[in-house]
Amino acid sequence: MLDRQISKLANERLRLYPAVAILGPRQVGKTTLVKEFRKANPDQVLYFDLENYADRQAFLEDRFFFLQSKADKTIILDEIQYLPEVFKDLRSLIDEDRRNGRFIILGSASPLLLQNASESLTGRISFLELTPFLADELVVMDINKLWFRGGYPRAFLAENEKESSLILNDLIFNYLSRDLPSFGLATETRIVDMTLRMLASLHGNILSASDIANSLGRSNTTILKIFDFFESSFMLRKLPPWYVNNGKRLVKRPKVYIRDSGILHNLLLINSEEALSRHYLCGNSWEGFVIEQIAANLRFGFALSFYRTTQGAEIDVVVSRGVLVILAIEIKLTNKPTLSKGNRVALEDLGNPPLLFVSPTVEDYQMEKNIWVCNIQTLDKNLKKFGVEKLV
């Protein structure tokens, strides 16, 4: 098992909070992570899979009494979305005994889909997201393989591309036919599937819900609801525009990305690294891949957006805190990046923050005053230099 970046952070949160929730898409490694924790503490940890009928029934019979009787142990509740009413019981138990590290909660949905968690356990729980494999988690740095296959563990570690593709096919099928309906999305699977594939074809571009709605013969409300479920279940990232009242005519709609590059390539029927290199969305795919690395390393309180005017001034990623722009990032699928006129205008509009180019394998160097170039392997180090890297 690879050493996951989140492991140290989760242990720190367990020392600070009565409950820690580790959320992320299905098959990303949440259960594997906590089973390693259980193996290291066999007498202090109990594990229950709430997707399993027998485990779930045990809680339904008298979950409050059961949890209370095990108060001296750390209790792991896996797939919490199958029994969200447990959150109310946890609140009562935690209020009786505020000892930290009592509960580890795993779920395949964000707090937005687990409303009971955010409402019932405010101040008592810390939320963490486990992503697919990240570039800085790889022991042997194989960026092209990670970019093409994506970071879902079984797909990345598969014996060959055919096996990896089959794993991703199954993952997408189960996500559409089982996971989303279990989260409460009632729209017919065929429409949800078509929406996801249309979003893949728009990867890295400006999102227009009305265009997709018109193409599918559905209302904007239906399509926007599907978008919300995609976002809340870690499939989709909507990158908002940076908006300031500077007199410029700004693009005000978000850009859209399929979060895992392997899922993206599977949806686009790209079956090899060579085919990816020839695809019209190759550069956009690389951009989305890098954005996921940035987002996973971003400190709490910092936000990501993009900047674009209707006149063509543009920056791929704006890292901000409140109204202050901390860092501008340009993502290039070349080891010889150049600064365009549109980039320079955008930097002036943003108050001339430092700019970081991210390229595949170039050696780090300073291009000019306040402008640096790095590669994907040194991205985390450079984010730390500008004070925006997550504190782990």
What average pLDDT does range 180-194 have in this prediction?
93
Tokens read off for 36: 């390693």
Q: Could you give the angle at the alpha carbon of 187 between the alpha carbons of 267 and 82, nearest 5°?
A: 90
Q: Can you point out the beta strands (E) in 99-248?
A: 103-107, 125-129, 205-206, 236-239
Tokens read off for 160: 């060959």
Among 391, 109, 167, 146, CA closest to 293: 146
In this predicted structure, the answer to whether residue 162 has a pLDDT above a threshold of 90 is yes
Highest CATH level, class, for 6-129: alpha beta
pLDDT above 90 covers a percentage of the chain that reads 62
Q: Quote the DSSP letter at residue 164.
A: H
Among 327, 303, 306, 304, CA closest to 316: 306
pLDDT at residue 140, as a whole number: 64
In this predicted structure, the answer to whether residue 392 has a pLDDT above a threshold of 60 is no
Q: How confident is residue 372, by pLDDT bands cut at 50, 70 and 90? A: very high
Q: Can you point out the beta strands (E) in the chain?
A: 19-23, 45-49, 74-78, 103-107, 125-129, 205-206, 236-239, 255-258, 303-308, 314-321, 324-331, 355-359, 365-368, 371-375
Q: For the CA atoms of the chain, what is the radius of gyration?
A: 22
What average pLDDT does range 283-299 have in this prediction?
95
Judge: domain 297-392, CATH 3.30.1380.
no
Q: How confident is residue 120, by pLDDT bands cut at 50, 70 and 90? A: confident
Residue with tokens 């790095």: 374
Tokens read off for 219: 């209302």
The overall longest dimension of the chain from CA atoms, in Å, is: 67
CATH 3.40.50.300 residue ranges in the chain? 6-129
Q: For residue range 223-255, what is the model confidence (pLDDT) as tens digits?
A: 999 999 999 999 999 999 998 766 678 888 999
Residue type, 20: V
Q: For residue range 38-90, what is the model confidence (pLDDT) as tens digits?
A: 887 777 888 888 888 887 777 677 666 666 666 678 889 898 888 777 787 78
Are 206 and 251 in contact, with CB atoms under 8 Å apart? yes
pLDDT above 70 covers a percentage of the chain that reads 92
The kind and range of the H/E element at 166 are helix 161-174
pLDDT at residue 65, as a whole number: 65
The kind and range of the H/E element at 180 are helix 180-183
What average pLDDT does range 92-103 have in this prediction?
87
Lowest mean pLDDT among 120-129, 231-240, 349-358: 120-129
CATH 3.40.1350 residue ranges in the chain? 297-392
Lowest mean pLDDT among 39-48, 152-161, 167-176, 352-361: 39-48
